[in-house]
Amino acid sequence: LDQINSLNVSKLQLAWKYKTGDMREAPRTTIECNPIIIGKNMYITSPGLKVIALDAASGKELWKFDPFYGASASGVNRGVTYWSDGAQERLFYVAGSNLYCINPGTGLLIESFADSGKVSLYNGLGRDVNFTWVTATTPGIIYKDLIIMGSALGEGPNAAAPGHIRAYNVKT
Q: List pLDDT tens digits, range 125-145.
A: 777 776 677 778 788 999 999
- Is residue 169's pLDDT more than 60? yes
According to DSSP, residue 109 is labeled: B
The pLDDT score that the predictor gives to residue 25 is 53
- Is residue 26's pLDDT more than 70? no
Answer for the pair 128, 78: CB distance below 8 angstroms, yes or no: no
The pLDDT score that the predictor gives to residue 136 is 83
Residue 68 CB burial class (10 angstroms; 0-12, 13-18, ≥19)? middle
Residue 33 banded pLDDT, cuts 50, 70, 90: confident
Higher-confidence residue: 124 or 64? 64
Higher-confidence residue: 108 or 132? 108
The pLDDT score that the predictor gives to residue 21 is 81
Task: Report CA 1 to chain centroid distance, whole Å.
Answer: 26
The CA distance from 68 to 80, in Å, is 17
The CA distance from 75 to 64, in Å, is 18
The pLDDT score that the predictor gives to residue 152 is 73
Q: For 63-85, how does the pLDDT look when each residue is reduced to its tens digit (9 = 90+)?
A: 999 999 888 777 778 899 999 99
By three-state DSSP, how is residue 62 classified? strand
The pLDDT score that the predictor gives to residue 134 is 76
Higher-confidence residue: 107 or 29? 107
